[in-house]
Amino acid sequence: MDDISTGRADARHVPDGVPDHLRHHVGGEDVDSAEGATFDVLDPVSNETYLRAAAGKAADVDRAVAAARRAFEDGPWPRMLPRERSRVLHRVADVVESRDARLAELESFDSGLPISQALGQARRAAENFRFFADLVVAQTDDAFKVPGRQLNYVNRKPIGVAGLITPWNTPFMLESWKLGPALATGNTVVLKPAEFTPLSASLWAGIFAEAGLPTGVFNLVHGLGEEAGDALVKHPDVPLISFTGESRTGQLIFANAAPHLKGLSMELGGKSPAVVFADADLDAAIDATIFGVFSLNGERCTAGSRILVQREVYDEFVERYAAQARRVVVGPPHLPSTEVGALVHPEHFAKVMGYIEIGRTEGRLVAGGGRPDGFPTGNYVAPTVFADVTPDARIFQEEIFGPVVAITPFDTDEEALALANGVKYGLAAYVWTNDLRRAHTFAQGIEAGMVWLNSNNVRDLRTPFGGVKASGLGHEGGYRSIDFYTHQQAVHVTLGEPHHPTFGKGDRP
């Protein structure tokens, strides 16, 4: 196996003040589960239980939804002016920014993310709140006039209790991505964080209290997806569900929400292509595609995990890519030098390792291939690269969600487009070429919700985020988030005499 620069394999950093028990947060109070149930939470470096969290079930979700509904119907939050809510959200951002190092330390410990990347995610969480705090104040709604006859305008209103179900990869940032717009628009919320990584979610209650969010607006229920998450999706008093997670879970949520006709926003799985044409800047393309699949431990929905390379530069690309992948630093998550840490959970580690074994029969292994040298324990996977992967291979078709990439050659633009679109997913895509006409034409043909041209996943928060096919339903980001979390009521005002036909003018009997 390739030699990989590492820190001490047995290094395990436990932050000061890590709790040994987490409770739900309902109506402004921390509470245990009604049945007293708990579940174990493991740290990814030792796979030892470091805390027990309250395991929410239907009764706990009922309590949280009731508290959120009271805060919506009777509390001040939905009736506050946008500027007043904006001030609270800016204070939330201030608190998050002031504690970014602590948040990153806890997130890294809980999820296995490298500390430097966890710090970036904490800062982005603050920026998410600032963005929506500003956007809700700047929000304008349509008005249409028919001179002398009618005025029509849109009255935007919060919907009610929003159910937010978040994943275990970059959990704190992705929680902020949903909490920011849901709260900015005047809704109240029940958050159900991923059971693998509940630690950072438990900090929100204190942050919101310090920022002045009214009691009951934010509620948190820990628990398993099939119990707490399922109860939240099926609850009749939760009209909105925003979910980020795998596609199979999204299908279940879609089916369970259907009887209640809930509003759904679901960002699901991905198997995103990175298409490298022969005229591309190979230095930039290699750097970007290395980062795009190995950052965040490869546990990212927008990872460019299929790299399609034009045959003229294919051999050079594979050789250089593999050499650079072998230099990626695997190490304990808390070390600043670490570029790939430990995968989140032993169950996920086993899944990724299983795909690597499948890949040995489906492609040519040119880097990595399993557990890195010097790491006999913990959920460590060496950055792994398979070349010459055919489009019918499982590692080409299926989402692995780890530091594993498949490289496939192509000859023509038409073949590249067919390969790019030849999976069930359609979240993101990346195109590398110096031909401007080709870049824009190719982007139009790709079945993906987001396309980056000569760039790696650098997002303007005003743009829509979401996928097509098995990668999602609906879009969030910018005004799309505002639209999702609000009713848009059309009000029609007649000017002058009413204009309508009169029925019933016939002769009376």
Q: 213 and 75 in contact (C-beta within 8 Å)?
A: no
Structural element, H or E, at residue 109: helix 100-111
Q: Strand 24-26 vs strand 21-22: parallel, antiparallel, or unpaired?
A: unpaired
From CA 375, how far away is CA 2, in angstroms rounded? 13
Phi/psi at 16 (nearest 5 deg)?
A: -65, 145
Angle between helices 82-98 and 115-138 (to 10 degrees): 170
Could you list the beta-strand ranges (E) of 147-252.
150-158, 161-165, 188-192, 218-220, 240-244
From CA 375, how far away is CA 353, in angstroms rounded? 14
Q: Which amino acid, residue 82?
A: P
From CA 437, how far away is CA 450, in angstroms rounded? 18
Catalytic residue among 175, 227, 267, 476: 267
Question: For 180-199, b where at least 16 C-beta lie within 10 A, e where not — what string?
Answer: bbbbbbbbbbbbbbbbbbbb
Q: What are the residue ranges of helices labelled H in 361-455?
A: 394-397, 413-420, 436-445
Q: 468 and 268 in contact (C-beta within 8 Å)?
A: no
Active site residue 267: yes
Within 13 Å, how many C-alpha atoms sit on residue 273's CB side? 30
And the tokens for 96?
Answer: 């998050």
Could you count the other beta carbons within 10 Å of the beta carbon of residue 226? 11
Catalytic residue among 107, 299, 301, 399: 301
Determine the Cα angle at 419 with ends 418 and 424, to 5°.
Answer: 95
Could you list the beta-strand ranges (E) of 288-378.
306-310, 364-367
Could you count the other beta carbons within 10 Å of the beta carbon of residue 89? 26
Torsion region of 491: left, alpha or beta (phi above 0 gives left; psi -120 to 50 gives alpha): beta
And the tokens for 86?
Answer: 């904006």
The overall longest dimension of the chain from CA atoms, in Å, is 100
Active site residue 497: no
From CA 483, how far away is CA 282, in angstroms rounded? 40
- Give the catalytic positions in this structure: 267, 301
